[in-house]
Amino acid sequence: MDFDMGEGAAALRTQLRELVADQVPHDYLGAFSDDPADLQVAQRFCKTLAEDGMLCSSWPARFGGRDSTAWEQTVVREEMWAHHEPRGAQYMGVNWVGPIIMRHGTEAQQRTHLPPIAAGEVIWCQGFSEPEAGSDLASLRTFATRDDDGWLINGQKIWTSYATMAQWCFLLARTTKLEPGGKKQAGLTIFLVPMSDPAIQVRPIRSMLGPHHLNEVFFDNLRVTEADVLGEVGAGWSIVGDVLSFERVGIARYARCERLLHAAPGILGQAWDDLPGELRARWARMLVHCRRARLLAYRLVAAQADGKVGPGDASGYRIAVTKLDQDSAEVLMEILAAAPADGDRYGWFRGEVQDHWRYSQASTVSSGSIEMQRILLSRAMLAAS
C-alpha cells in the first residue's frame, strides 16, 4: 500500500529527523521524568519548531502556522511521537486545544490563546475526568454558579496530565442543575481558566508513568468571567465531541510502535535469527497492524479536513491503535527477554521498549476506555445500518 504524502511531506520528514538527531539526546525518553533537564530539552525543541512555523504548520499564518496541509501536520505528529514526543506537553495545545478555539472561540480568545500555542510558549491541561466521572464523563459534578457578571467554580478533577506545569486549563463544568430523569449531557459548559489562580490547587499523583504526568486538581471558588466561556453556555457537550475526535487521532502511537519494531532486527544482529519462529511471526504481524492503524489514522485526517469525522470513525481508530500499543509492547518485551545477554549492546533500545511498555498499560483507558470506544463504534454502526 502506498502511504506517500508527496514531495513536501517527505522533505519535511527528513528535516524533522535531522532536527531530532541534532537537538534531542539519543537516550531521551520524554519530558516527564525526574530530571528537569528533560523538560528543558522539550521546551527548547518546541521553540526550534515554532521559529520555522512547524509546530503548528497547518494553522493559518495569522495564528502562527504556515498554512501547510493537514498531511504535513500529520508528518510532524508522527515524527514527534516516534521520538518520544520532544514537543513535551505542547502537543495538547497543538493537536486539539488550538483547533477547538479556532472553531468555537471568540476573536478575542483566538488572539489571546492561539499565537502563544503556535510559539511553543504555553502548556495546557484538560479538566475533564473526575473521581466518579471518567468514561461516563457527563456525570461530572464540578459546578459553575452564576455570580454577578461571572461564575464561581467548585469541584475536583483527576488524572489531569501536566497540571503541575500548565499555564491554562480547558475545563468542563456543569452550569445547570441536573434534574431527575434529565439528560446528563445538557447544561455543561467549557471554561478557559488560568492555572495561576490561587483558587486552583494541584496535587501530583505518583505513578509508573512519571512524576509530572498525572494529578488531582481542586477548584475552590474559582472566579471566572463571561470572557472565559468557550462557545455557548450549556452547549459544552457538543464541543467535547469535537475535542475527542481531534484528541484521539492526534497521538500517532503507531509511529513509535513501527519505529521500535523496525529497529529490533538490526539491534539484535545475528541473534535475531535465533529467536523462536513464533515470536518473529508475531513481530511481523505487529508491523501489519501498524500499517492498519496508520491507514485508519489517514482516513480520519482526510475526513477531519472535510469536517466529516463521526464518533464511530474516531472510536474505530482508537481501538486499533491502543491495542497495537499494548500488543507491540508485549512482543518487543519478549524479544528483549529472548535475546542473549550482551552487556550494553541493547542500551537505548531496551530503555525505549521498557518505556513504551509502561505507557502502553494505560493506553486502553486514557482518553476514553476501550470499552466505551466499542460502545460508541457499535452505536454508530447500528445507526448506519
Is residue 29 situated within a structural domain?
Answer: yes
Residue 272 sits in the same domain as residue 292:
yes
Predicted confidence (pLDDT) per residue in 124-135, tens digit: 999 999 998 877
Place of cell 521559529: 51
Final residue belonging to a domain, choices 103, 121, 139: 121
Residue 262 sits in the same domain as residue 373:
yes
Q: What per-residue string of b and e applies to 167-184 under the rule 16 or more CB within 10 Å gives b?
A: ebbbbbbbbeebeeeeee
Residue 333 sits in the same domain as residue 363:
yes
Helix ranges (DSSP H) in 191-310: 236-250, 253-268, 277-305
Q: How far apart are CA 54 and CA 47, in angstroms?
A: 10
Place of cell 534531542: 24
AA identity, residue 7: E
32: left (phi over 0), alpha (psi -120 to 50) or beta: beta
Kindly report the CATH number assigned to the domain that includes residue 192.
2.40.110.10
Domain containing 51 equals 7-121
Residue 78 sits in the same domain as residue 139:
no
Predicted confidence (pLDDT) per residue in 302-359, tens digit: 877 776 666 677 788 888 888 999 999 999 999 998 887 765 667 788 889 998 998 8
Predicted confidence (pLDDT) per residue in 139-179, tens digit: 899 999 998 889 999 999 998 988 998 999 999 999 998 87
Q: How far apart are CA 218 and CA 154, in angstroms?
A: 8
Residue 214 sits in the same domain as residue 201:
yes
Is residue 241 situated within a structural domain?
Answer: no
Residue 81 sits in the same domain as residue 104:
yes
Residue 208 scores a pLDDT above 80: no
Give strand pairing partners of 268. none
Kindly report the CATH number assigned to the domain that includes residue 73.
1.10.540.10
Is residue 291 situated within a structural domain?
Answer: yes
* 218, 154 contact by CB (below 8 A): no
Predicted confidence (pLDDT) per residue in 261-275, tens digit: 999 999 888 889 999
* 290, 3 contact by CB (below 8 A): no
Structure-block grid coordinates of residue 282: 508475531
Structure-block grid coordinates of residue 281: 511471526
Residues in CB range of 310: below 8 A, 6 or more apart: 303, 380
Final residue belonging to a domain, choices 204, 234, 264: 234
Residue 104 sits in the same domain as residue 131:
no
Predicted confidence (pLDDT) per residue in 53-102, tens digit: 889 988 998 888 888 888 888 999 999 999 988 988 888 898 889 999 99
Is residue 246 situated within a structural domain?
Answer: no
Is residue 14 situated within a structural domain?
Answer: yes
Residue 308 sits in the same domain as residue 328:
yes
Closest CA to 347 of 331, 336, 332, 360: 336
Share of the chain above pLDDT 90, in %: 50
Do the bridges between strand 124-127 and strand 143-147 make them parallel or antiparallel, or are there none, so unpaired?
A: unpaired
* 24, 83 contact by CB (below 8 A): yes
How many domains is the chain partitioned into structurally?
3
Is residue 372 situated within a structural domain?
Answer: yes
Q: Decide which of 369 and 109 is more confident.
A: 109
Residue 39 sits in the same domain as residue 94:
yes
Residue 256 sits in the same domain as residue 380:
yes
Q: How far apart are CA 66 and CA 189, in angstroms?
A: 32
Is residue 108 situated within a structural domain?
Answer: yes
* 209, 31 contact by CB (below 8 A): no
Final residue belonging to a domain, choices 207, 234, 261: 234
CA distances to 85, 189, 207, 250, 384 from 171, in Å: 24, 8, 23, 19, 32
Residue 260 sits in the same domain as residue 365:
yes
Kindly report the CATH number assigned to the domain that includes residue 298.
1.20.140.10
Within its chain, how far is the Cα of 1 from the centroid? 27
Is residue 224 situated within a structural domain?
Answer: yes
Residue 207 sits in the same domain as residue 256:
no
pTM, rounded to two decimals: 0.86
